[in-house]
């Protein structure tokens, strides 16, 4: 029992799990029901609806992953993040990113991790990046980091000072469901952090300090309707804890990394892939986030999205690193796809900004 508990507090990497490796994940996604023709591959499916090859539109979002270290080890993390991950963006790579941030045509800068705040250069990077005047500057904060250690207690004020848009995961408004997915004690710390963000003005009606929450399902099922879930979350969090926030993004769990490991271990993998394929929505393909996003990894390599980054699928372009960034050349590429992409096109679709289609 204790051994099992300890395992749950470690990344797949630390556990030397088979699915810590991108090639093993891709192998799983290419074989079985997709190799024997029971289900169409993603490229076959989008070809049927005239969307192959998938090509970028104009770049709008630059997403930078500043490291895989995190104070949490959530059950379904697609990054396989945790306290034992040591991959951290250096200041040198951040300087290369800043050059790009100053010159990009993107209107959104999105810092993610792991827990981005755990990067020792995080505050310096935010201060510098905020000077570039990008319209929407997002930091993906897991909330508990704000209460994890005294040195993080002033994060709400720091975010406010730099007019950062805070986007935070909150899988449910109940303690049981949240703690099951994200770890014991996460719910209470998240509530406290949300109250502190509200106290400095985040998430309040009419406030320009944006606070959005992200929901992802706790098991092998697709998210419900984003609009009605947002209403339920707002009602429950306000009534129970006096908490306000702006929008809720409902995100589908993609079958990679720890969620793939969970699907296989719980014998839900095939059923889940069937439900993703059956829910395929051609309207969502047009708006998948890789079409207007570039994802930068902790070591400066470029990817079509954060999921491709975790699968180590670099952009299909002669420009592959932030140090040689060229938006025009990068935009002239085919997006690399595999069966995990079905997670972005099921139902209302899914992106880091939630549903993408009606
Ligand atoms: S807080 Fe986010 S990055 Fe950290 S383990 Fe959980 S899902 Fe992964
Ligand atoms: S997983 Fe990435 S590449 Fe695939 S459709 Fe989604 S955003 Fe695009």
* Whether residue 313 has its Cβ less than 6 Å from ligand 2: no
Q: What is the CA radius of gyration of the chain?
A: 19
The span from the CA of 233 to the CA of 211, in Å, is: 14
For the CA of 254, the closest atom of ligand 2 is 1
What's the pLDDT band for 354 if we cut at 50, 70, 90? confident
> How confident is the model at residue 6, as a pLDDT?
61
**331 Cα to the center of ligand 2, angstroms:** 15
Q: Which domains does the chain have, with CATH numbers?
A: 2-345 (3.20.20.70)
Please give the full DSSP string across 8-66, using - where no structure is assigned: HTS-TTTTT-GGGSHHHHHHHHHSGGGTTTSS--HHHHHHHTT-PSP---S--EEEEE-
- Tell me the percentage of the chain whose pLDDT exceeds 70: 97
Q: Give the DSSP letter string of 329-358.
A: HHHSSPPP--GGGHHHHBTT--BTTB----
Q: What's the sign of the alpha-carbon dihedral 130, 136, 141, 147?
A: positive
Neighbours of 315 (CB within 10 A): 22
pLDDT confidence bin for 9, thresholds 50/70/90: confident
* Per-residue pLDDT tens digits for 25-68: 999 999 999 999 999 999 999 999 899 999 999 999 999 999 99
* Cα 352 to ligand 1 centroid, rounded to whole Å: 14
| Distance (Å) from CA 143 to ligand 1 centroid | 10
pLDDT bin (cut points 50, 70, 90) of residue 4 is low
List own/partner pairs for 200-205 with CB under 8 A and 24 or more apart.
Answer: 200/156, 200/157, 200/160, 201/160, 202/156, 202/159, 202/160, 202/166, 203/243, 203/244, 203/245, 203/246, 204/244, 205/244
Task: Please give the mean pLDDT across all residues of the chain.
Answer: 95
Q: How far is the CA of 339 from the centre of ligand 2 (A)?
A: 9
CB atoms within 10 A of CB 13: 18
- The structure's pTM equals 0.96
Would you place residue 358 in the very low, low, confident or very high pLDDT band (cuts 50, 70, 90)? low
Q: What is the DSSP string of 276-299?
A: HHHTB-HHHHTT-GGGTEEEE-TT
Residue 164 has a pLDDT of 98
Read off the pLDDT of residues 325-335 as tens digits, 9 standing for 90 and up. Answer: 999 999 999 99
How, if at all, do strands 61-65 and 248-250 pair?
unpaired
d(CA 1, CA 220): 24
What's the CA gap between 307 and 154, in Å, rounded?
31
CA–CA separation, 121 and 81 (whole Å)? 18
Tell me the mean pLDDT in the region 194-214: 97
Residue 126 has pLDDT above 60, yes or no: yes
346 lines ligand 2 (CB under 6 A): no
Q: If pLDDT is split at 50, 70 and 90, which confidence band does 297 have?
A: very high
pLDDT score for 5:
61
Q: What is the C-alpha to C-alpha distance for residues 253 and 195, in angstroms, rounded to an integer?
A: 27
Which ligand lies nearest the alpha carbon of 257?
Answer: 1
Specify the pLDDT at position 283.
92
Nearest alpha carbon, ligand 2 atom 8: 290
- Kindly give the distance from the C-alpha atom of residue 104 to the centroid of ligand 2, in angstroms, as a whole number: 22
Is residue 341 lining ligand 2, measured as CB closer than 6 Å?
yes
Q: Which ligand is nearest to the CA of 78?
A: 1
2 pLDDT more than 60 = no
Residue 290 has pLDDT above 80, yes or no: yes
């Amino acid at each position: 029992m204790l051994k099992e508990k300890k395992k749950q507090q470690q990344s797949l990497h630390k556990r030397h799990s088979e699915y810590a490796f991108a090639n093993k994940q891709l192998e799983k996604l290419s074989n079985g029901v997709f190799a024997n023709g029971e289900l169409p591959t993603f490229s076959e499916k989008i070809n049927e609806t005239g969307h192959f090859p998938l090509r970028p539109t104009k770049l709008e979002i630059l997403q930078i992953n500043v490291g895989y270290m995190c104070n949490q080890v959530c059950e379904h993390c697609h990054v396989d993040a945790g306290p034992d991950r040591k991959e951290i963006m250096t200041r040198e790579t951040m300087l290369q990113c800043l050059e790009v941030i100053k010159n990009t045509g993107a209107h959104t800068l999105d810092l993610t991790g792991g827990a981005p705040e755990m990067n020792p250069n995080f505050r310096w990077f935010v201060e510098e990046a905020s000077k570039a005047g990008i319209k929407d500057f997002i930091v993906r904060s897991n909330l508990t980091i704000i209460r994890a250690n005294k040195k993080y207690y002033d994060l709400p004020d720091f975010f406010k000072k730099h007019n950062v848009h805070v986007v935070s995961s909150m899988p449910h408004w109940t303690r049981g469901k949240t703690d099951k997915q994200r770890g014991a004690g996460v719910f209470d710390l998240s509530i406290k952090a949300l109250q502190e963000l509200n106290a400095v003005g985040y998430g309040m009606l009419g406030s320009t300090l944006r606070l959005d929450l992200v929901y992802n399902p706790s098991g092998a099922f697709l998210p419900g309707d984003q609009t009605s879930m947002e209403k339920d979350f707002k009602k429950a969090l306000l009534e129970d804890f006096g908490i306000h926030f702006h929008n809720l993004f409902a995100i589908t769990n993609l079958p990679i990394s720890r969620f793939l490991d969970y699907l296989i271990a719980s014998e839900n993998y095939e059923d889940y892939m069937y439900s993703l394929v059956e829910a395929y929505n051609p309207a969502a393909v047009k708006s998948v986030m890789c079409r207007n996003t570039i994802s930068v990894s902790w070591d400066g390599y470029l990817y079509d999205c954060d999921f491709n980054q975790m699968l180590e699928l670099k952009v299909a372009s002669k420009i592959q690193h932030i140090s040689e960034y060229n938006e025009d050349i990068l935009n002239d590429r085919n997006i690399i796809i595999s069966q995990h992409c079905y997670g972005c096109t099921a139902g209302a679709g899914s992106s880091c900004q939630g549903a993408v289609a009606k």
